[in-house]
Amino acid sequence: MMTRKKKSRRLIRITLIYIALTLLGIFMIYPLIWMFFSSFKSNNEIFGSLRLLPKQVIWDSFYRGWNSGQFTYGLFFKNTFLLVIPVVLFTLVSSTLVAYGFARFNFPLKGILFTVMISTLMLPNAVIIIPRYILFNRFGWLNSYKPFTVPSIFACHPFFIFMLVQFLRGLPRELDESATIDGCNSFVILVRIHIPLLKPALFSAAIFQFIWTWNDFFNSLIYINSVKKYTISLALRMSLDTAAAANWNEILAMSTLAILPCVLIFFFAQKYFVEGIATTGLKG
Amino acid sequence: MKGHHVTGKKNKRQYTGLLYIMPWILGFLIFQLYPFISSFIYSFTNYNMTSNIKFIGLKNYIDIFTKDSQFYNSLKVTIFYVFMAVPMKLVFAMFIAMVLNIRIKYVNFYRTVYYLPSILGGSVAVAVLWRFLFADNGLVNEILSFFGIPKIGWLSNPKIALFTVSLLTVWQFGSSMVIFLAGLKQIPKELYEAATVDGVSKAGMFFNITLPLLTPIILFNLVMQMIIAFQEFTGSFVITNGGPMKSTYLYAMKLYDEGFLFMKMGYASALSWILFIVIMIFTALIFRSSEYWAYYEDGRQ
């Protein structure tokens, strides 16, 4: 039995831990909250002020930022979705097929191929980016979204293959065997039996791929060069470069909009994030 | 796994498996292996997308090592960055994971809050935000001066700018934290119960149970985060554009400038292979040293 003194000391300690954790949380999130509120501030209030809420609310920074350039942000959002959604869908389909092959079949060189697949997780993108660029240039794919979509058709994201293999390995083999006896072929088994069970894993994969592709900057910068095809990342950087010294609130407003889809997905689908990372034990 | 099938059926199944992984095999050959090998070959040429390709032997490498002062600078900056950002991030992630792992309610809530920056951290929007927050008269300096601390040139002082850029990386500690949390949950409670019975102190439990059992996850996180950090680009490109005085000119920026700004593809390929070898050396060193500090229950791997 704990003495009263010990108990109260424990209570104090726990309270301190909660306070520290909460402060850290505020500290972590505050920049984002500040960004949101600052997009309603006048430009000279963004710098040199501690206030979170604007003294004088500027309502049109979103409108002006949206329409600031030669093209509106509507186009840039549309472009980003046109790039991201096919990449996500192709990644899901191709990674599922490949993961199924690795998890459920035996074939020659399987061990070696699996090791190669896993080791490409560690292959630095920087090493292959130049020949890839030359290759895509030769294919005539520059300034299109093909450098993003075509590799995803060919399961070039080993992270997701690995993640789905891990999930598939957790499904009992008896399921496959009884279906085989019933005369189903392997593809029917995949579609009818595995995919419904894989739903949470597929959902995790979709979310991760969406966010990573949405946030991608380096590849977009290299492959896309006409403003008409710019994604959000490129558009933001362009606004930052071209902004006459006084348009800070517009840039913050557009930055807020740029992170909005990822934040929304995060809040509506949090549990899939944690499951996704925890089962693979990989980056994120 | 087991050979229950009839031989003919087994053969058929063999090809079925290959058929399923075929997209990956093709993708690997075309989009990974071919670029990997050809960047090595390009590194011995003067290829620049316009004139004819010519083999020039080791000239690119010799030029890089003897004439290119920005090469040494960017390599130095990058190694500093990696050694600053990765340990800070991992220590922080592990520490917070351990706090959350001890009888804390609302773990899910805190986990969510700490994890949010990880999903946004790589984006241009957040890099833009960083530029505002750490400007000379930005929010951070305003808070400091509120407490009577003199302003700091977070992005304008060449000695500090790299640290400010790495703070952006540390801010994204949430994903590593979630991995550590999952690892901590795997540690059997009986170990701690037995240790309590034996009268082991809290510190003793940490050093003899928690830390050793977490080492495989530490190793894994360390290697992956290091490889990612060596290639960091967006942060320095958007926040500081390599400045001030090239103090945040990361290797990836150097690579970008040579390859995609000046179109010196051969030269940039040589740079990329040097980066690859540097990453390999550090990875090998970590794995080698892990024989002494990483712990595996059954002595495997």
DSSP assignments along B227-271, one per residue: HHHHT--HIIIIIITT-STTTT--HHHHHHIIIIIS--HHHHHHH
Between the alpha carbon of residue A14 and those of residues A7, A18, B100, B171, the distances in Å are 11, 6, 11, 25
Q: Residue B99: exposed, middle, or buried by beta-carbon count in 10 A (0-12, 13-18, 19+)?
A: middle
Shortest Cα–Cα distance, B292 to chain A (Å): 22
For residue A190, give the DSSP letter: I
Contacts with B116 from chain A: Cβ below 8 Å: 28-29, 32, 263, 266
Same domain, B114 and B168: yes
In a domain, A15, yes or no: yes
CATH number at residue A128: 1.10.3720.10
pLDDT for residue A240: 85
Same domain, B31 and B92: no
Q: Do B138 and A237 touch (CB under 8 A)?
A: no
Q: What average pLDDT does this structure show over A172-196? A: 85
Lowest mean pLDDT among A157-166, A182-191, B139-148: A182-191
Residue type, B296: Y
Between the alpha carbon of residue A54 and those of residues A32, A155, B140, B223, the distances in Å are 15, 48, 17, 44
Predicted confidence (pLDDT) at residue A131 exceeds the cutoff of 80? yes
Query: What stretches in chain B show pLDDT beneath 50?
Result: 1-7, 299-301
Nearest CA in chain B to A223: B260
Same domain, B243 and B98: yes
Query: What is the tens place of the pLDDT at every residue in B131-177?
Result: 989 988 889 998 998 898 998 999 999 999 999 999 999 999 988 88
pLDDT for residue B281: 96
Query: What is the tens place of the pLDDT at every residue in A110-129?
Result: 999 999 999 998 899 999 99
Predicted confidence (pLDDT) at residue A274 exceeds the cutoff of 70? no
Helix and strand tally (H, E) in chain B?
15, 0
Query: What is the tens place of the pLDDT at every residue in A27-51?
Result: 899 999 999 999 998 888 888 777 8
Same domain, B76 and B208: yes
Shortest Cα–Cα distance, A5 to chain B (Å): 20
Query: What is the tens place of the pLDDT at every residue in A85-104?
Result: 999 999 999 999 999 999 99
**Percentage with pLDDT > 90 across chain A:** 51
Contacts with B226 from chain A: Cβ below 8 Å: none
Q: Do B27 and A122 touch (CB under 8 A)?
A: no
Mutation to test the A interface, candidates B32, B228, B275, most A Cβ within 10 Å: B32
Total domain count, chain B: 2
pLDDT for residue A44: 80
Predicted confidence (pLDDT) at residue A228 exceeds the cutoff of 70? yes
Predicted confidence (pLDDT) at residue A245 exceeds the cutoff of 80? no
pLDDT for residue A246: 64
Confidence class for position A11, pLDDT limits 50, 70, 90: confident
Predicted confidence (pLDDT) at residue A278 exceeds the cutoff of 80? no
Q: Let me know: does A153 contact A87? Beta carbons within 8 Å.
A: no
Q: Does B39 touch chain A (CB under 8 A)?
A: yes
Total domain count, chain A: 2
Alpha-carbon span A187 to B17, nearest angstrom: 11
Contacts with A262 from chain B: Cβ below 8 Å: 119-120, 123
Contacts with A25 from chain B: Cβ below 8 Å: 110, 113-114
ipTM score of complex: 0.87
Same domain, B3 and B143: no
Same domain, A132 and A223: yes
Q: Which domain covers residue B209, as residue numbers?
A: 60-293
Q: Which domain covers residue A43, as residue numbers?
A: 9-62
Q: Does B46 touch chain A (CB under 8 A)?
A: no
In a domain, A2, yes or no: no
Shortest Cα–Cα distance, B15 to chain A (Å): 7
